[in-house]
Each structure stands twice: as structure tokens, then as C-alpha cells.
Structure 1
Amino acid sequence: MSEMADLIYFRIQTQMLPYLIFVFISVSGVLSGRSCYWNAQCPFQLYSSKTPYDTVRGDIRDQPNLPNCEAVSAWTLNRHGNRNPGDSVIDDIKVIIGLKDEIISSYEAGTSQLCSQDIENLRRWSWNETIDASASFLTGTGYEELYGIGKRLREKYPQLLPSSNDSYYFRTTNEQRTVTSSKAFVHGFTDNTNLSLSIDGPWERDDLIRPYENCEKYQVETKASQELDDQLTAYYSSTEFIAVQNNVQQRLGISTKLSSNDIYSIYELCRFDRSWTPTLKSPWCSVFTDDDLVVLEYEDDVWHYYRNVNRTNDQQFSI
């Protein structure tokens, strides 16, 4: 009886197997039609000035040497590496973090459009409290970025490494993120050498690298101008941004009405958080489509253009 039962069981499984396969394929086909962030094969990579450098950089070591030409000097002006958000952005981000439980509850109630794994990743996510005490500071990722630039420059042009420390001059502005970035660059440039190089600065007043900080015309007519506020208001009132706002509200399915500032704060949390992870992904980015991210990236274009360009008398001067 036992052998007969096993045989019947085997035959049943054998006969059912094609149907099981058919059902499995059908379900897989349905699920594959839903776009999920966590397993996206080509997630959106561009986040304006918060785009991790290694995502978009080239490699100077791969550039061919010019014929009949030898490098005898190198001059470089570097921006700081990846950093923490500033105080005001952290405050806005904390408001969004306060919505985490509501977002998860919305999914459990069946009113969210987010995928199961994206919600699970959000459930496991937590804010790094040390960031609160290190606003705008350079991150470990940022240090590696500048170290890598210095390292690749050294490997491309080893002839620029004489033994004398007097052959070099480095200068930094007066911010923790730039001071530490300059140290990272020098570290990469001198690693595995006998050089011991110093860095000039920071200077309390720096008319060489940051002249705009002491330029009254810039401070009054550009940085503090009403035009920047007007342009940002126009952006947040645009058809494109309102569409993003409505899409995110519907996608999350929460009762809390999201303001334009809330939408942009989710974007800030998304792009800062993803830049610190090895996978370059954050569960907070799952609330956006690629099209949403294109629209949101444009905010920085507006902000930087109208904050960093003097438009007096219809003429444009880069600051």
C-alpha cells in the first residue's frame, strides 16, 4: 500500500507539473509588468551635484599621451567630494522620515503602489544619527573620491613626482568638507612616495578662490535677489512638477498631503542616502520614476543658475 501510494503520488505530481509550470509562467508574466525599484536593471544615475563622482567620471590614465609632448606641470581646481546634507536640509529630511510608518501602513492597507521588496527595504532602513552632528561634512565616500583623483593623476604622470616638496602648492577654502577633501587629494597624490606635502590655508577671507563671498554686488544683486525665489516658485508651479507631486502622492497612497517642499525633501533624502550605499540605491528613491527624477534634477539647474550668475543689465557674468 505504501509503494502504491508513493507511485500514485508521483504520477499525480508528474501529471500536474506542466500545469504548475504554466501557472508559474503566467504569474511571472503579470509580475514582470510592474516596475520595481529594488531590482531595476538600469536605475537612474543622475542627481545633479549629488551624483557620486565614480558614477560619471572618466579616467585620465586611459587618455592617450599627445605626440611629441611631455607633461611638465599640472594645475587643478577641485570641488569637495561627497558630503552630508546641511542643517536646513536635515531638518526637512527629518519631517519626511516621520512619514515612514504611514508609508508602510499604506502598503499594508493596500493603498500603496510600491513593491513588496521596496517596502521591506524601507522597513529596515534607519537614519544615521551621527549626521545630525556633522552637517555638510565630507563623507567617507567623498574622501575616496578625492583620494582617487590624486592617485590617478600620480599614476598618469609619474614624472611630476620629484623629491622636493617645494615643487608643489596646495590651497584650500575654509570649510570642513574642502579642508578634508584637499587632504584626501594630497594623500592619493603622495601615497607610496617619499613626499610629505603641506596645504596652505584655510584663510578666513579668501579673495583668490572664493572672491564672491566678499563681493557686495554678488551678495546683493544675485545671491539675495528676488529673481531666484521667483524662478523657483515658477518651477514648483509648473505642470511638470505638479505631475510629479500628484504621482508620488498617489504612489504612496498616504493621507498626509505632500507639499512641494515635501516632494523635494524626499528627493534630497533619496539622493543623499543612495550616494552613501555600496549599491547606490535607497528605498526612498522607490517613490519616483525615472521621469520624475529628470524633473526633480532640474530644480538644481534653476537654483545654481540664478544663484551663481549675475544678470544685471541683461548681461550674464559667471561668478
Structure 2
Amino acid sequence: MKYLLSITFICFSYIRFATSSFCYWNTACSYRYFSSVTPYSAVRGDIRDSVINIKECEPVSIWGLFRHGRTHPAAKRAGKMKEAISIRDLVVSSYEKGRCSLCAQDIDNLRDWPVNYDLFEKTNALQDEGYQDMFGIGYRLKTVFPQFLDKLEHESYLFKPSDHHWSKESAEAFVKGLGSQNLVIDNQKILNGPDFIFNDGIDSSQKEDESIDEANEYTISSEFLAANDRIQRRLGIDYSLTDDNITALYDLCRYSWSGLHNKASPWCALFTTEDLKVLEYIEDLVHYYKNGYGRKNASQFGHKPLQDLLQKFQRAKEGKGNIITAYFILAETLEATFTALGWFKDSQPLTAVQKGRDRFWRTSKFSAFSSNLFMVLNRCTNKDVTDYHVMFYMNEEPLRSVCEGGICSWGEFERILSPFLNSTQRYSD
């Protein structure tokens, strides 16, 4: 199934060599894949265009995992980003002395960039872009299934966010996008026993450094050191950039990119496309060894949502299930679920010395802000014979190779999900 999950980026940046580098401001297609900070607009489809319709079939139930919308960075990250803003003056000064290889317009854009203090002070807050993205997903689903999702009764749906204010606000935006009145979001936290919504897939007792060892190894690799050297020479500043400085500048680039208005951040001009790919890979390594195939038993943390999916659809077949079930989660749960399914798995593990340009594990693709995985159960009737089919969608595009043509028979669906039905999820390695 790996060929299904390969990632193709159709937009390429053409490097124009002038004195020594390219001009970012007028690059035909700026690189905008920033691991889990990637804007949803960079990866999403449109369910209105891509929905699979089968003759003589009607939707019975929708089940989905929805990562929260775009947020401001966490406090620790935000603090380092705020400190790194002072490097801007060094870059401008370097350009004026003829040492910096950025283009004049890139320098103007960087100099004129207005400091958005909300970025540093309203940490983890849902941005307007994140709200609009989540609203849009709900709106488009309602547009595709207008009668099915109209006038939902209280016992016919479940909207459940994780216990984080940005997830709750994302759920509110999604529900508002559905356009139905008086829908209730279930904000009650389950206190007895593990629950995938609130554990968000990963045991909080895991030490942070256990998930970044390989990433740290990559920072001393020849590939990363070459990128570090390119950045230093490109900026032409006397100050020697540390790894923390480069990470903070990268965060300024990706957190101040506007996906809503498709407006690139002037901070991204500090990097070449190859530099951005190197920094993206560091993030992929962190996620791979925290939530993915690089962590022993990581797939166990994705069993619970898949178990819930199968049970919800089994009940829907019996006429007792929800019309729609939507969970609003963190990236950890989404990545652990993909790992449990065996998706985005490379033939060789990701390591500090083995970065495949065509790797399947690309968090920019499947773990961007507002990324989602949802399934639609359809009941089909032909000559008084009733059957059921399930369609898989990721980021509003059909996963056509999960089953032929993107349409899974009930038997195929059960074969995919049945291994998770009686699994025991353990929250330790």
C-alpha cells in the first residue's frame, strides 16, 4: 500500500542565481511544507469535488479524526522566537555592508515585517486561520451531505475535543461550519481509564529526549552542517548562529506564514529551499521516533480510535449508531493512528544518515494543521439486496488505493479494522 501513500509535490522553486543566491519574494512557488506547522491550504483537497458517489447508495454514518486548526507556538518556542527577532537588524546591517546575499526586496520585506506580539504572548491560541480552516471543513461536509447532516438530533452525533482550549475552539468552528443550530459539543473529560482523546495517543511520561536522539544526530551530519553553513554565508552576519538560533528563525518563517491569504513569510527568505527541506526532516525525525515507526509499540496508541471507528460503524449498520462522530485531537493521535494502520511506512527506518527524498513519512502531508482522516459508511440497495460500503478520506481527498477505486466493501473494511477490535492498549513502552 506504500505506493498509495507516496507524496508528490507538484510545485517547484526555481533558484535564480544572481550575485550568489535566489530572490525569495518572487519565487514562482515558495516551499511551504513545514512538518506539523504546515498550513492546511498547502495539503487539503475539497470534499465537494472529490466525494465518491455510488448509485443507489446513501450515507449512513461519518466518523473522523480532525487535528486542531493553526495555533500560535507554545511558550518555550515562542520565547526563543521573540529573542531571535533581533537577528533581523544584523541581517539588514549585513546587507547594507554588502555581505548579505538576500535580494533587496527580501530585505525590505524583512525590515518592514510588523511584529505580531500575539504570536508570542497568546501561546497555543487558535489563530483566525485555524478557525477558518475548521469552519471550512464543516461547511464543505454539510454542502456535500446537506440532508444527511441537517437537523441533527441530540442522540445522533458526537463532537468531542481533547482537553485543550485550541481543540475545543476547533470543534466549535467545525460545528458552526455545519450550519446546524443548537449542536452540543461534548467537553466532558473521561476520568476513569485511558481514553485516546485525552491521552492524545502518547504517554506523557515519555522523556522528551527519547524522541529527539536521532534528530540530534542529524544536526551533526554533513547534510545539516552544509545547510548551517549556507545559512550563515547567506546572511553574512558576524554572529555565529547556534542550532537554537536556526530553529527559532525557522519557526519565525513557518509560524508567520499565512496559509489563509497564501502569503509567504519574509523570514523564509533566510533559507534556500534545500535548507527548508533539511529543517523539515529534523521535524520528521522527531515525530517518527515519538509517534511513529521509530518508537517501539507506538502503533498501540492508534488502536483505540480504530477500535472506536469499527464499533461505531457496526452500530450504524444496526440502525443504532451516530450520524456523525468527530474527534478533535492533537497530531500525536493522528500520527499514531496512521502508524497502527501501517500507512506512510518506509522500507527502511528514517535515520540521521538515511534521508530519503521520496520518503513516505512526511508529516507535512499527513499531520499539517487541521489534517483529518474520516470515513463515510454507505448503505446500498440493489433489487432489495442491502449492502454496505466505506470510503476513506484524508484531508478531503479519497484514499483510492486503500480499496479498489476508493470504495471498500464491508468485508474489506472489517479485515482492515478487525485486528484492533479486541486489542488492549497499553500506555507504556
Alignment TM-score, normalising by the size of structure 2: 0.61
Query: Is there any run of 5+ residues in structure 1 with no aligned partner, and where?
Result: 1-28
Per-residue deviation, residues 272-302 of structure 1 (Å, max 9, x unmatched): 1013672421111001111111111011111
Aligned to 2:185: 199
Deviation at residue 67 of structure 1 after TM alignment: 2.9
Deviation at residue 73 of structure 1 after TM alignment: 1.4
Q: What amino acid is aligned across from residue 198 of structure 1 in structure 2?
A: V
Deviation at residue 147 of structure 1 after TM alignment: 0.3
Contact 1:104 1:123 (8 Å CA) reproduced: yes
Aligned to 1:22: none
1:128-139 alignment to 2 at 5 Å?
Answer: 128-139=116-127
Do residues 317 (structure 1) and 299 (structure 2) align? yes
Q: What amino acid is aligned across from residue 248 of structure 2 in structure 1?
A: S
Aligned to 1:177: 166
Partner SS state of residue 64, structure 2:
coil
Higher normalized helix content (fraction of residues): 1
Deviation at residue 318 of structure 1 after TM alignment: 4.6
Moved over 6 A (4+): none
Do residues 53 (structure 1) and 36 (structure 2) align? no
1:255-294 alignment to 2 at 5 Å?
Answer: 255-275=238-258, 278-294=261-277
Do residues 234 (structure 1) and 228 (structure 2) align? no
Higher normalized strand content (fraction of residues): 2
Aligned to 1:296: 279
Contact 1:172 1:202 (8 Å CA) reproduced: no
The 1-side partners of 2:110 and 2:294 are apart by 44
1:133-152 alignment to 2 at 5 Å?
Answer: 133-152=121-140
Contact 1:84 1:137 (8 Å CA) reproduced: yes
Q: Which has the higher contact order (CA 8 A, sep 6+)?
A: 2
Query: Is there any run of 5+ residues in structure 2 with no aligned partner, and where?
Result: 1-15, 302-429
Over the aligned positions, Cα root-mean-square deviation in angstroms equals 2.5
- After alignment, is 201-210 or 62-71 more displaced? 201-210
Q: How many residues align?
A: 283
Change (3 A) 1:255 1:205: farther
Q: Larger radius of gyration, structure 1 or 2?
A: 1
Contact 1:179 1:202 (8 Å CA) reproduced: no
Change (3 A) 1:176 1:254: same
Partner SS state of residue 117, structure 1:
helix
Aligned to 1:111: 99
The 2-side partners of 1:30 and 1:224 are apart by 44
Q: What amino acid is aligned across from residue 185 of structure 1 in structure 2?
A: F
Deviation at residue 317 of structure 1 after TM alignment: 2.8
Contact 2:21 2:101 (8 Å CA) reproduced: no
The 2-side partners of 1:316 and 1:204 are apart by 22
